[in-house]
Amino acid sequence: MAYQALYRVWRPQTFSDVIGQGVITQTLKNAVASKMTSHAYLFSGPRGTGKTSCAKILAKAVNCLNPHDGEPCNECEICQAANENRLNDVIEIDAASNNGVEEIRDIRDKVKYAPTEAKFKVYIIDEVHMLSQGAFNALLKTLEEPPANVMFILATTEPQKIPATIISRTQSFTFRRISKQDILDRMVYILKDKNIDYDEEALNIIAASAEGGMRDALSILDQALSYGDDHLTLTNAQEVTGALSNEQITAYMSAIAKNESAQALESLYKILESGRSAIRFTEMIIRVCRNLILYNSNSDLSDQMDNTIMTKDLLDLADKFDNQRLFYIVDQVSSAQRNLKNSNQTDVYMEILTVKISEPQVMDQTDVKDKADNQEVEKLSGQVKKLQSEIKNLSTGNVQVQQELPKKKSRKAKGSNHLNKTAIYKVLDNATKKDLAVAKDIWPDLMSKLSVTQRAKMRVADPVAASVDGIVVAFDFELWFEQVQEDTEFLDELKSNAGTLLKKDCEIVLVPKDQWPRIRKEYISNNIDLPNKDKVESKAEPKKDPAVDEALNLFGNEIVDIKDD
Protein backbone atom coordinates (compact mmCIF):
# COMPACT_ATOMS: atom_id res chain seq x y z
CA MET A 1 0.00 0.00 0.00
CA ALA A 2 1.28 3.41 -0.91
CA TYR A 3 2.50 5.58 1.94
CA GLN A 4 -0.13 7.93 3.28
CA ALA A 5 0.73 11.12 5.07
CA LEU A 6 0.10 11.00 8.80
CA TYR A 7 -2.31 13.89 8.73
CA ARG A 8 -4.44 12.04 6.19
CA VAL A 9 -4.35 8.74 7.99
CA TRP A 10 -5.11 10.45 11.29
CA ARG A 11 -7.67 12.89 10.00
CA PRO A 12 -10.43 12.96 12.62
CA GLN A 13 -13.56 11.05 11.58
CA THR A 14 -15.88 12.25 14.34
CA PHE A 15 -16.37 15.56 16.16
CA SER A 16 -14.86 14.12 19.31
CA ASP A 17 -11.70 13.19 17.39
CA VAL A 18 -11.11 16.85 16.56
CA ILE A 19 -8.40 18.27 18.82
CA GLY A 20 -8.55 21.59 20.58
CA GLN A 21 -11.84 23.01 19.21
CA GLY A 22 -14.18 21.73 21.92
CA VAL A 23 -16.73 24.55 21.84
CA ILE A 24 -17.14 24.41 18.08
CA THR A 25 -17.46 20.65 17.83
CA GLN A 26 -19.92 20.51 20.73
CA THR A 27 -22.10 23.21 19.11
CA LEU A 28 -22.08 21.43 15.75
CA LYS A 29 -22.87 18.10 17.38
CA ASN A 30 -25.86 19.62 19.18
CA ALA A 31 -27.09 21.21 15.97
CA VAL A 32 -26.94 17.90 14.13
CA ALA A 33 -28.58 15.99 16.99
CA SER A 34 -31.45 18.46 17.19
CA LYS A 35 -31.69 18.80 13.40
CA MET A 36 -31.13 22.54 13.73
CA THR A 37 -28.27 22.91 11.31
CA SER A 38 -27.90 26.09 9.31
CA HIS A 39 -27.80 26.22 5.53
CA ALA A 40 -24.50 28.08 5.53
CA TYR A 41 -21.43 27.99 7.77
CA LEU A 42 -18.23 29.99 7.79
CA PHE A 43 -15.22 28.31 9.39
CA SER A 44 -12.30 30.70 9.81
CA GLY A 45 -8.95 30.31 11.56
CA PRO A 46 -5.25 29.58 11.01
CA ARG A 47 -4.17 26.74 8.76
CA GLY A 48 -4.24 23.24 10.10
CA THR A 49 -6.61 23.93 12.96
CA GLY A 50 -9.38 21.56 11.84
CA LYS A 51 -11.66 23.65 9.61
CA THR A 52 -11.75 21.24 6.68
CA SER A 53 -11.90 18.23 8.98
CA CYS A 54 -14.91 19.69 10.78
CA ALA A 55 -16.56 20.51 7.45
CA LYS A 56 -16.17 16.91 6.29
CA ILE A 57 -17.46 15.53 9.58
CA LEU A 58 -20.43 17.88 9.50
CA ALA A 59 -21.24 16.89 5.91
CA LYS A 60 -21.12 13.26 6.96
CA ALA A 61 -23.07 13.75 10.20
CA VAL A 62 -26.06 15.46 8.57
CA ASN A 63 -26.27 12.63 6.06
CA CYS A 64 -25.45 9.65 8.29
CA LEU A 65 -28.13 6.96 8.38
CA ASN A 66 -27.47 6.14 12.06
CA PRO A 67 -26.15 9.27 13.71
CA HIS A 68 -25.45 9.07 17.40
CA ASP A 69 -25.70 12.22 19.54
CA GLY A 70 -24.88 14.27 16.46
CA GLU A 71 -21.86 12.14 15.57
CA PRO A 72 -21.63 10.23 12.28
CA CYS A 73 -21.55 6.46 12.73
CA ASN A 74 -18.75 5.95 10.17
CA GLU A 75 -20.27 2.55 9.38
CA CYS A 76 -23.35 3.13 7.28
CA GLU A 77 -23.00 3.23 3.49
CA ILE A 78 -23.27 7.01 3.41
CA CYS A 79 -20.49 7.46 6.00
CA GLN A 80 -18.30 4.97 4.20
CA ALA A 81 -18.86 6.61 0.84
CA ALA A 82 -18.06 9.99 2.41
CA ASN A 83 -14.91 8.64 4.06
CA GLU A 84 -13.76 7.30 0.70
CA ASN A 85 -14.56 10.60 -1.02
CA ARG A 86 -17.09 9.01 -3.34
CA LEU A 87 -20.29 10.54 -2.02
CA ASN A 88 -21.53 12.64 -4.97
CA ASP A 89 -23.63 14.88 -2.75
CA VAL A 90 -20.60 16.21 -0.88
CA ILE A 91 -18.83 18.57 -3.25
CA GLU A 92 -15.47 20.01 -2.29
CA ILE A 93 -14.23 23.10 -4.09
CA ASP A 94 -10.82 24.64 -3.58
CA ALA A 95 -11.36 28.31 -4.28
CA ALA A 96 -7.59 28.77 -4.51
CA SER A 97 -7.69 26.84 -7.77
CA ASN A 98 -11.32 27.34 -8.82
CA ASN A 99 -11.78 31.01 -8.29
CA GLY A 100 -13.71 31.75 -11.44
CA VAL A 101 -17.24 33.01 -11.63
CA GLU A 102 -17.96 30.00 -13.85
CA GLU A 103 -17.41 27.54 -11.03
CA ILE A 104 -19.85 29.27 -8.75
CA ARG A 105 -22.37 29.71 -11.59
CA ASP A 106 -22.04 25.99 -12.04
CA ILE A 107 -23.05 25.60 -8.38
CA ARG A 108 -26.04 27.89 -8.93
CA ASP A 109 -27.20 25.82 -11.88
CA LYS A 110 -26.83 22.47 -10.13
CA VAL A 111 -27.80 23.50 -6.63
CA LYS A 112 -31.50 23.28 -7.49
CA TYR A 113 -31.28 19.56 -8.20
CA ALA A 114 -32.04 17.48 -5.16
CA PRO A 115 -29.27 15.38 -3.64
CA THR A 116 -29.00 12.01 -5.35
CA GLU A 117 -27.94 9.63 -2.58
CA ALA A 118 -27.96 11.55 0.67
CA LYS A 119 -30.35 13.83 2.51
CA PHE A 120 -28.25 16.96 2.06
CA LYS A 121 -26.16 18.26 -0.76
CA VAL A 122 -23.13 19.83 0.94
CA TYR A 123 -20.76 22.26 -0.77
CA ILE A 124 -17.44 22.70 1.03
CA ILE A 125 -15.60 25.72 -0.36
CA ASP A 126 -12.03 25.87 0.93
CA GLU A 127 -10.02 29.11 0.97
CA VAL A 128 -13.21 30.91 0.07
CA HIS A 129 -11.50 34.32 0.38
CA MET A 130 -9.79 33.56 -2.94
CA LEU A 131 -13.03 33.90 -4.89
CA SER A 132 -13.24 36.79 -7.31
CA GLN A 133 -15.73 39.60 -6.73
CA GLY A 134 -17.93 38.19 -9.48
CA ALA A 135 -17.87 34.76 -7.90
CA PHE A 136 -18.77 36.24 -4.50
CA ASN A 137 -21.75 37.96 -6.10
CA ALA A 138 -22.88 34.71 -7.67
CA LEU A 139 -22.41 32.91 -4.35
CA LEU A 140 -24.38 35.60 -2.53
CA LYS A 141 -27.35 35.06 -4.87
CA THR A 142 -27.33 31.37 -3.98
CA LEU A 143 -27.05 32.06 -0.25
CA GLU A 144 -29.91 34.54 -0.41
CA GLU A 145 -32.34 31.91 -1.70
CA PRO A 146 -30.93 28.61 -0.58
CA PRO A 147 -32.79 25.60 -1.95
CA ALA A 148 -33.95 23.08 0.62
CA ASN A 149 -31.53 20.32 1.60
CA VAL A 150 -28.44 22.24 0.57
CA MET A 151 -25.67 23.24 2.94
CA PHE A 152 -22.69 25.49 2.28
CA ILE A 153 -19.57 25.27 4.42
CA LEU A 154 -17.11 28.03 3.65
CA ALA A 155 -13.60 27.75 5.10
CA THR A 156 -10.96 30.45 5.17
CA THR A 157 -7.72 31.54 6.78
CA GLU A 158 -8.50 35.16 5.94
CA PRO A 159 -12.06 36.03 6.97
CA GLN A 160 -11.35 39.77 6.67
CA LYS A 161 -11.27 39.30 2.89
CA ILE A 162 -14.81 38.01 2.76
CA PRO A 163 -17.62 40.47 1.96
CA ALA A 164 -19.81 41.32 4.95
CA THR A 165 -22.87 40.44 2.88
CA ILE A 166 -21.64 36.84 2.70
CA ILE A 167 -20.62 36.64 6.35
CA SER A 168 -24.02 37.90 7.50
CA ARG A 169 -25.70 34.98 5.77
CA THR A 170 -23.60 32.33 7.48
CA GLN A 171 -23.21 30.92 10.93
CA SER A 172 -19.65 31.79 11.74
CA PHE A 173 -17.10 29.81 13.78
CA THR A 174 -13.59 30.92 14.61
CA PHE A 175 -11.07 28.11 14.98
CA ARG A 176 -8.25 28.71 17.43
CA ARG A 177 -4.64 27.70 17.26
CA ILE A 178 -4.29 24.32 18.91
CA SER A 179 -2.41 24.36 22.20
CA LYS A 180 1.05 22.91 22.32
CA GLN A 181 -0.09 20.36 24.88
CA ASP A 182 -2.92 19.16 22.64
CA ILE A 183 -0.50 18.79 19.75
CA LEU A 184 1.94 16.91 21.97
CA ASP A 185 -0.75 14.56 23.23
CA ARG A 186 -1.91 13.81 19.70
CA MET A 187 1.61 13.05 18.49
CA VAL A 188 2.25 10.77 21.47
CA TYR A 189 -1.02 8.98 20.75
CA ILE A 190 -0.09 8.42 17.11
CA LEU A 191 3.48 7.32 17.84
CA LYS A 192 2.30 4.84 20.49
CA ASP A 193 -0.19 3.46 18.03
CA LYS A 194 2.55 3.05 15.45
CA ASN A 195 4.94 1.60 18.03
CA ILE A 196 7.57 4.20 17.41
CA ASP A 197 10.01 5.31 20.12
CA TYR A 198 10.61 9.00 20.54
CA ASP A 199 12.69 11.57 22.41
CA GLU A 200 10.41 13.87 24.42
CA GLU A 201 12.53 16.82 23.32
CA ALA A 202 11.96 15.98 19.68
CA LEU A 203 8.20 16.21 20.15
CA ASN A 204 8.56 19.50 21.98
CA ILE A 205 10.50 21.01 19.15
CA ILE A 206 7.97 19.84 16.59
CA ALA A 207 5.01 21.08 18.63
CA ALA A 208 6.68 24.47 19.08
CA SER A 209 7.45 24.93 15.42
CA ALA A 210 3.96 23.87 14.28
CA GLU A 211 2.61 27.09 15.82
CA GLY A 212 -0.80 25.76 16.69
CA GLY A 213 -1.44 23.87 13.47
CA MET A 214 -2.07 20.15 13.85
CA ARG A 215 -1.58 19.46 10.18
CA ASP A 216 1.80 21.19 10.24
CA ALA A 217 2.80 19.25 13.34
CA LEU A 218 1.95 15.95 11.71
CA SER A 219 3.72 16.91 8.47
CA ILE A 220 6.88 17.77 10.37
CA LEU A 221 6.56 14.57 12.35
CA ASP A 222 6.25 12.69 9.07
CA GLN A 223 9.44 14.25 7.74
CA ALA A 224 11.36 13.65 10.94
CA LEU A 225 10.27 10.00 10.90
CA SER A 226 11.34 9.65 7.29
CA TYR A 227 14.95 9.95 8.48
CA GLY A 228 14.33 6.37 9.46
CA ASP A 229 15.18 4.09 12.36
CA ASP A 230 11.71 3.62 13.85
CA HIS A 231 12.84 6.09 16.42
CA LEU A 232 12.14 9.80 16.51
CA THR A 233 15.35 11.48 17.60
CA LEU A 234 16.01 14.99 18.79
CA THR A 235 18.58 15.51 16.05
CA ASN A 236 16.12 14.55 13.33
CA ALA A 237 13.51 16.91 14.71
CA GLN A 238 16.08 19.69 14.85
CA GLU A 239 17.12 19.01 11.27
CA VAL A 240 13.58 19.10 9.97
CA THR A 241 12.46 22.18 11.89
CA GLY A 242 15.73 24.08 11.48
CA ALA A 243 15.83 24.34 15.26
CA LEU A 244 19.06 24.99 17.03
CA SER A 245 20.68 22.37 19.16
CA ASN A 246 20.97 23.16 22.84
CA GLU A 247 24.74 23.22 22.52
CA GLN A 248 24.52 25.85 19.80
CA ILE A 249 22.23 28.18 21.68
CA THR A 250 24.09 27.68 24.94
CA ALA A 251 27.44 28.48 23.36
CA TYR A 252 25.99 31.61 21.81
CA MET A 253 24.22 32.85 24.92
CA SER A 254 27.17 32.24 27.20
CA ALA A 255 29.40 34.29 24.89
CA ILE A 256 26.79 37.07 25.06
CA ALA A 257 26.71 36.77 28.85
CA LYS A 258 30.47 37.22 29.02
CA ASN A 259 30.40 40.14 26.57
CA GLU A 260 32.67 38.13 24.32
CA SER A 261 31.79 39.46 20.89
CA ALA A 262 34.41 37.41 19.13
CA GLN A 263 33.20 34.21 20.70
CA ALA A 264 29.58 35.12 20.03
CA LEU A 265 30.38 35.77 16.38
CA GLU A 266 32.22 32.48 16.08
CA SER A 267 29.23 30.59 17.39
CA LEU A 268 26.96 32.64 15.14
CA TYR A 269 29.04 31.60 12.12
CA LYS A 270 28.85 27.95 13.16
CA ILE A 271 25.09 28.18 13.53
CA LEU A 272 24.63 29.83 10.14
CA GLU A 273 27.04 27.41 8.51
CA SER A 274 25.05 24.46 9.80
CA GLY A 275 22.15 25.78 7.73
CA ARG A 276 20.01 27.05 10.58
CA SER A 277 17.68 29.83 9.55
CA ALA A 278 18.43 33.28 10.93
CA ILE A 279 14.77 33.87 11.73
CA ARG A 280 14.46 30.63 13.67
CA PHE A 281 17.63 31.53 15.50
CA THR A 282 16.29 34.92 16.56
CA GLU A 283 13.05 33.30 17.70
CA MET A 284 15.11 30.95 19.83
CA ILE A 285 17.10 33.80 21.40
CA ILE A 286 13.87 35.54 22.34
CA ARG A 287 12.42 32.38 23.85
CA VAL A 288 15.54 31.80 25.89
CA CYS A 289 15.59 35.40 27.12
CA ARG A 290 11.92 35.31 28.09
CA ASN A 291 12.52 32.16 30.07
CA LEU A 292 15.55 33.64 31.78
CA ILE A 293 13.46 36.69 32.69
CA LEU A 294 10.83 34.42 34.25
CA TYR A 295 13.50 32.46 36.05
CA ASN A 296 15.16 35.61 37.39
CA SER A 297 11.96 37.39 38.37
CA ASN A 298 10.34 35.08 40.76
CA SER A 299 10.36 31.44 41.63
CA ASP A 300 6.58 31.22 41.16
CA LEU A 301 6.85 32.48 37.61
CA SER A 302 9.56 29.98 36.84
CA ASP A 303 6.80 27.34 36.79
CA GLN A 304 5.71 28.90 33.53
CA MET A 305 9.09 28.43 31.93
CA ASP A 306 9.34 26.43 28.79
CA ASN A 307 11.42 23.63 30.23
CA THR A 308 11.85 21.99 26.88
CA ILE A 309 14.43 24.54 25.84
CA MET A 310 15.79 25.56 29.21
CA THR A 311 18.56 23.09 29.86
CA LYS A 312 20.61 23.28 33.03
CA ASP A 313 23.44 24.93 31.11
CA LEU A 314 21.15 27.72 29.97
CA LEU A 315 19.68 28.21 33.43
CA ASP A 316 23.18 28.51 34.79
CA LEU A 317 23.51 31.64 32.70
CA ALA A 318 20.58 33.30 34.45
CA ASP A 319 22.62 35.08 37.11
CA LYS A 320 24.97 36.45 34.48
CA PHE A 321 22.17 38.54 33.01
CA ASP A 322 20.02 41.05 34.83
CA ASN A 323 16.50 41.47 33.52
CA GLN A 324 17.20 44.90 32.11
CA ARG A 325 19.83 43.40 29.89
CA LEU A 326 17.52 40.55 28.88
CA PHE A 327 14.77 43.00 27.94
CA TYR A 328 17.31 44.96 25.96
CA ILE A 329 18.34 41.82 24.09
CA VAL A 330 14.72 40.92 23.34
CA ASP A 331 14.19 44.46 22.00
CA GLN A 332 17.24 44.34 19.80
CA VAL A 333 16.44 40.89 18.49
CA SER A 334 12.84 41.85 17.71
CA SER A 335 13.90 44.86 15.72
CA ALA A 336 16.52 42.81 13.90
CA GLN A 337 13.77 40.35 12.97
CA ARG A 338 11.95 43.07 11.07
CA ASN A 339 15.06 43.68 8.98
CA LEU A 340 15.74 40.00 8.51
CA LYS A 341 12.31 39.44 7.03
CA ASN A 342 12.90 42.04 4.32
CA SER A 343 16.50 41.35 3.55
CA ASN A 344 18.70 38.91 1.77
CA GLN A 345 21.68 40.12 3.77
CA THR A 346 20.62 38.15 6.79
CA ASP A 347 24.19 37.29 7.77
CA VAL A 348 25.18 40.94 8.05
CA TYR A 349 22.16 41.74 10.20
CA MET A 350 22.91 38.79 12.43
CA GLU A 351 26.51 39.98 12.83
CA ILE A 352 25.38 43.48 13.72
CA LEU A 353 22.87 42.10 16.18
CA THR A 354 25.44 39.80 17.75
CA VAL A 355 28.00 42.52 18.33
CA LYS A 356 25.31 44.85 19.59
CA ILE A 357 23.93 42.52 22.22
CA SER A 358 27.33 41.26 23.27
CA GLU A 359 28.48 44.78 24.06
CA PRO A 360 26.08 45.94 26.74
CA GLN A 361 27.64 49.40 27.01
CA VAL A 362 25.75 50.35 23.86
CA MET A 363 22.55 50.13 25.92
CA ASP A 364 20.76 53.32 26.90
CA GLN A 365 22.38 55.20 24.10
CA THR A 366 20.38 53.87 21.24
CA ASP A 367 17.31 55.99 21.90
CA VAL A 368 18.98 59.33 22.33
CA LYS A 369 21.41 58.68 19.54
CA ASP A 370 19.66 60.20 16.56
CA LYS A 371 18.80 63.48 18.25
CA ALA A 372 22.28 63.82 19.63
CA ASP A 373 23.70 63.05 16.20
CA ASN A 374 21.86 65.82 14.45
CA GLN A 375 22.60 68.45 17.05
CA GLU A 376 26.17 67.43 17.20
CA VAL A 377 26.64 67.43 13.45
CA GLU A 378 25.20 70.93 13.22
CA LYS A 379 27.38 72.18 16.00
CA LEU A 380 30.42 70.52 14.55
CA SER A 381 29.92 71.82 11.05
CA GLY A 382 29.84 75.35 12.47
CA GLN A 383 33.07 74.75 14.27
CA VAL A 384 34.58 73.04 11.30
CA LYS A 385 34.10 76.15 9.19
CA LYS A 386 35.89 78.26 11.79
CA LEU A 387 38.63 75.76 12.19
CA GLN A 388 39.21 75.17 8.51
CA SER A 389 41.59 78.04 8.09
CA GLU A 390 43.52 77.08 11.19
CA ILE A 391 44.01 73.51 10.19
CA LYS A 392 46.54 74.10 7.50
CA ASN A 393 48.65 76.20 9.85
CA LEU A 394 48.80 73.68 12.60
CA SER A 395 52.07 71.86 12.35
CA THR A 396 51.01 69.19 14.81
CA GLY A 397 48.00 68.58 12.65
CA ASN A 398 44.80 66.85 13.34
CA VAL A 399 45.39 65.67 16.87
CA GLN A 400 45.30 69.07 18.46
CA VAL A 401 42.38 70.20 16.39
CA GLN A 402 40.42 67.22 17.58
CA GLN A 403 41.20 68.10 21.15
CA GLU A 404 39.61 71.46 20.69
CA LEU A 405 36.41 69.88 19.55
CA PRO A 406 34.00 68.94 22.31
CA LYS A 407 35.31 65.86 23.99
CA LYS A 408 33.08 63.03 24.92
CA LYS A 409 32.47 62.94 28.61
CA SER A 410 31.62 59.31 28.90
CA ARG A 411 30.31 56.59 26.69
CA LYS A 412 26.84 57.83 27.41
CA ALA A 413 27.53 61.28 26.05
CA LYS A 414 26.87 59.98 22.64
CA GLY A 415 27.49 61.85 19.46
CA SER A 416 30.49 63.86 20.50
CA ASN A 417 32.74 61.35 18.93
CA HIS A 418 30.82 61.13 15.74
CA LEU A 419 31.48 62.38 12.29
CA ASN A 420 34.82 64.15 12.28
CA LYS A 421 34.62 66.39 9.23
CA THR A 422 37.81 68.19 10.13
CA ALA A 423 39.75 64.99 9.81
CA ILE A 424 37.94 64.01 6.65
CA TYR A 425 38.65 67.38 5.08
CA LYS A 426 42.29 67.06 6.01
CA VAL A 427 42.57 63.83 4.07
CA LEU A 428 40.64 65.33 1.17
CA ASP A 429 43.00 68.31 1.05
CA ASN A 430 45.73 66.05 -0.18
CA ALA A 431 43.78 63.15 -1.61
CA THR A 432 44.83 61.53 -4.86
CA LYS A 433 43.59 58.61 -6.88
CA LYS A 434 46.97 56.99 -6.57
CA ASP A 435 46.82 57.05 -2.77
CA LEU A 436 43.33 55.60 -2.88
CA ALA A 437 44.59 52.78 -5.08
CA VAL A 438 47.37 52.11 -2.57
CA ALA A 439 44.87 52.10 0.30
CA LYS A 440 42.65 49.65 -1.53
CA ASP A 441 45.68 47.54 -2.25
CA ILE A 442 46.73 47.14 1.39
CA TRP A 443 43.11 46.79 2.58
CA PRO A 444 42.89 42.99 2.50
CA ASP A 445 46.17 42.69 4.42
CA LEU A 446 44.99 45.26 6.92
CA MET A 447 41.76 43.29 7.46
CA SER A 448 43.64 40.05 7.92
CA LYS A 449 45.43 41.52 10.93
CA LEU A 450 42.14 42.03 12.78
CA SER A 451 40.29 39.83 15.24
CA VAL A 452 37.06 38.09 14.25
CA THR A 453 34.91 40.76 15.90
CA GLN A 454 36.86 43.58 14.40
CA ARG A 455 36.71 42.01 10.97
CA ALA A 456 32.95 41.61 11.25
CA LYS A 457 32.65 45.30 11.98
CA MET A 458 34.86 46.19 9.03
CA ARG A 459 33.22 43.82 6.59
CA VAL A 460 30.88 46.55 5.40
CA ALA A 461 33.61 49.20 5.19
CA ASP A 462 35.82 50.31 2.29
CA PRO A 463 38.36 53.06 1.62
CA VAL A 464 36.73 55.82 -0.43
CA ALA A 465 39.44 58.48 -0.42
CA ALA A 466 43.10 58.63 0.57
CA SER A 467 45.99 61.02 0.82
CA VAL A 468 49.61 60.21 1.41
CA ASP A 469 49.00 60.01 5.17
CA GLY A 470 45.29 59.39 5.61
CA ILE A 471 42.46 57.11 4.51
CA VAL A 472 38.73 57.85 4.60
CA VAL A 473 36.77 54.67 5.23
CA ALA A 474 33.03 54.51 4.50
CA PHE A 475 30.67 52.14 6.31
CA ASP A 476 27.57 50.63 4.75
CA PHE A 477 25.82 50.50 8.11
CA GLU A 478 25.76 53.46 10.42
CA LEU A 479 25.74 51.20 13.43
CA TRP A 480 29.10 49.77 12.49
CA PHE A 481 30.44 53.26 11.87
CA GLU A 482 29.43 54.25 15.38
CA GLN A 483 30.84 51.16 16.96
CA VAL A 484 34.24 51.58 15.39
CA GLN A 485 34.28 55.34 15.79
CA GLU A 486 33.73 54.96 19.51
CA ASP A 487 36.30 52.27 19.94
CA THR A 488 39.47 54.34 20.19
CA GLU A 489 41.56 51.30 20.98
CA PHE A 490 40.42 49.59 17.80
CA LEU A 491 40.99 52.77 15.79
CA ASP A 492 44.51 53.08 17.13
CA GLU A 493 45.16 49.50 16.21
CA LEU A 494 43.85 50.10 12.70
CA LYS A 495 46.09 53.13 12.37
CA SER A 496 49.17 51.38 13.60
CA ASN A 497 48.54 48.36 11.35
CA ALA A 498 48.00 50.64 8.38
CA GLY A 499 51.22 52.45 9.34
CA THR A 500 53.13 49.19 9.38
CA LEU A 501 51.78 48.17 5.98
CA LEU A 502 52.40 51.59 4.41
CA LYS A 503 55.70 52.10 6.22
CA LYS A 504 54.61 55.57 7.35
CA ASP A 505 52.09 57.14 9.73
CA CYS A 506 48.56 56.95 8.50
CA GLU A 507 45.38 58.49 9.84
CA ILE A 508 42.16 56.48 9.49
CA VAL A 509 38.99 58.55 9.29
CA LEU A 510 35.53 57.06 9.28
CA VAL A 511 32.29 58.08 7.63
CA PRO A 512 28.86 56.44 7.17
CA LYS A 513 28.45 55.68 3.49
CA ASP A 514 25.09 57.42 3.20
CA GLN A 515 26.62 60.69 4.38
CA TRP A 516 29.66 60.43 2.14
CA PRO A 517 28.21 61.94 -1.06
CA ARG A 518 27.01 65.01 0.87
CA ILE A 519 30.33 65.54 2.63
CA ARG A 520 32.20 65.11 -0.63
CA LYS A 521 29.97 67.64 -2.33
CA GLU A 522 30.31 70.14 0.50
CA TYR A 523 34.04 69.78 0.38
CA ILE A 524 34.22 70.36 -3.32
CA SER A 525 32.06 73.47 -3.16
CA ASN A 526 33.73 74.89 -0.04
CA ASN A 527 37.31 73.99 -0.26
CA ILE A 528 38.46 74.02 -3.80
CA ASP A 529 39.31 77.54 -4.80
CA LEU A 530 37.32 77.81 -7.92
CA PRO A 531 37.69 80.79 -10.21
CA ASN A 532 34.00 80.45 -10.95
CA LYS A 533 32.38 77.89 -8.76
CA ASP A 534 28.95 78.03 -10.36
CA LYS A 535 30.36 77.03 -13.66
CA VAL A 536 31.45 73.67 -12.38
CA GLU A 537 28.04 72.92 -11.01
CA SER A 538 26.23 73.87 -14.17
CA LYS A 539 27.48 74.96 -17.50
CA ALA A 540 31.25 74.97 -17.81
CA GLU A 541 32.95 72.52 -20.06
CA PRO A 542 34.00 70.31 -17.24
CA LYS A 543 37.11 68.63 -18.55
CA LYS A 544 38.84 71.91 -19.16
CA ASP A 545 38.16 73.36 -15.75
CA PRO A 546 41.22 73.07 -13.52
CA ALA A 547 39.01 72.77 -10.43
CA VAL A 548 37.22 69.81 -11.87
CA ASP A 549 40.51 68.31 -12.88
CA GLU A 550 41.55 68.62 -9.30
CA ALA A 551 38.33 67.04 -8.11
CA LEU A 552 38.75 64.26 -10.61
CA ASN A 553 42.26 63.78 -9.44
CA LEU A 554 40.99 63.49 -5.89
CA PHE A 555 38.15 61.16 -6.28
CA GLY A 556 38.27 59.62 -9.70
CA ASN A 557 35.62 59.85 -12.39
CA GLU A 558 33.06 57.72 -10.72
CA ILE A 559 32.72 59.96 -7.71
CA VAL A 560 32.63 63.50 -9.03
CA ASP A 561 29.25 64.45 -10.41
CA ILE A 562 29.79 66.78 -13.30
CA LYS A 563 26.50 68.20 -14.36
CA ASP A 564 26.18 68.91 -18.05
CA ASP A 565 23.00 70.77 -18.73
Separation CA 205–CA 538 (nearest Å): 64
Q: Are 66 and 76 in contact (CB under 8 A)?
A: yes
Site map 265..304 versus Zn ion, x via CB under 5 A? ----------------------------------------
Separation CA 559–CA 557 (nearest Å): 6
Piece in contact with Zn ion (CB under 5 A), picked from 78-86, 232-240, 247-255, 411-419: 78-86
Provide, rounded to whole angstroms, the least separation between the CB of residue 81 and Zn ion: 10
Q: Which of 33, 76, 387, 450 binds Zn ion (CB under 5 A)?
A: 76
10: number of CA atoms within 13 Å, CB side? 23
Q: Are 329 and 289 in contact (CB under 8 A)?
A: yes
Separation CA 60–CA 306 (nearest Å): 40
Piece in contact with Zn ion (CB under 5 A), picked from 27-35, 67-75, 180-188, 533-541: 67-75
Separation CA 459–CA 549 (nearest Å): 32
Separation CA 254–CA 261 (nearest Å): 11
For residue 462, the cross-strand partners are 474
Separation CA 456–CA 460 (nearest Å): 8
Residue 77 or 370: the one with the smaller Cβ distance to Zn ion is: 77
Of residues 405 through 424, those in contact with Zn ion by CB under 5 A are: none
Residue 72 or 415: the one with the smaller Cβ distance to Zn ion is: 72
Residue 76 or 262: the one with the smaller Cβ distance to Zn ion is: 76
Three-state DSSP state, 171? strand
Three-state DSSP state, 183? helix
- Tell whether residue 528 is a contact of Zn ion (CB under 5 A): no
Residue 79 or 207: the one with the smaller Cβ distance to Zn ion is: 79
- Tell whether residue 32 is a contact of Zn ion (CB under 5 A): no
Piece in contact with Zn ion (CB under 5 A), picked from 68-76, 378-386, 419-427, 504-512: 68-76
Sheet of 461-467, strand order = 461-467, 470-475, 507-512
Piece in contact with Zn ion (CB under 5 A), picked from 73-81, 131-139, 261-269, 388-396: 73-81
Provide, rounded to whole angstroms, the least separation between the CB of residue 77 and Zn ion: 8
Provide, rounded to whole angstroms, the least separation between the CB of residue 298 and Zn ion: 54
Separation CA 210–CA 225 (nearest Å): 16
Q: Are 59 and 67 in contact (CB under 8 A)?
A: no
Number of chain residues interacting with Zn ion (CB under 5 A): 5
Helix and strand counts by DSSP (H, E) for the chain: 27, 10
Q: Are 429 and 446 in contact (CB under 8 A)?
A: no
Separation CA 326–CA 320 (nearest Å): 10
Residue 73 or 387: the one with the smaller Cβ distance to Zn ion is: 73
Residue 29 or 180: the one with the smaller Cβ distance to Zn ion is: 29
At residue 170's C-alpha, the angle toward residues 167 and 171, to 5°, is 115
Piece in contact with Zn ion (CB under 5 A), picked from 18-26, 63-71, 471-479, 535-543: 63-71
Q: Which of 28, 64, 243, 551 binds Zn ion (CB under 5 A)?
A: 64
Provide, rounded to whole angstroms, the least separation between the CB of residue 53 and Zn ion: 17
Residue 72 or 470: the one with the smaller Cβ distance to Zn ion is: 72
Piece in contact with Zn ion (CB under 5 A), picked from 58-66, 83-91, 320-328, 390-398: 58-66
Provide, rounded to whole angstroms, the least separation between the CB of residue 60 and Zn ion: 7
Residue 61 or 206: the one with the smaller Cβ distance to Zn ion is: 61
Separation CA 360–CA 450 (nearest Å): 22
Q: What one-letter code names the amino acid at 69?
A: D
- Tell whether residue 79 is a contact of Zn ion (CB under 5 A): yes
Residue 72 or 159: the one with the smaller Cβ distance to Zn ion is: 72
Return the DSSP state at 130.
G
Q: Which of 17, 47, 73, 373 binds Zn ion (CB under 5 A)?
A: 73
Residue 81 or 466: the one with the smaller Cβ distance to Zn ion is: 81
**Can you give the binding site for Zn ion, defined by CB under 5 A?**
64, 72-73, 76, 79
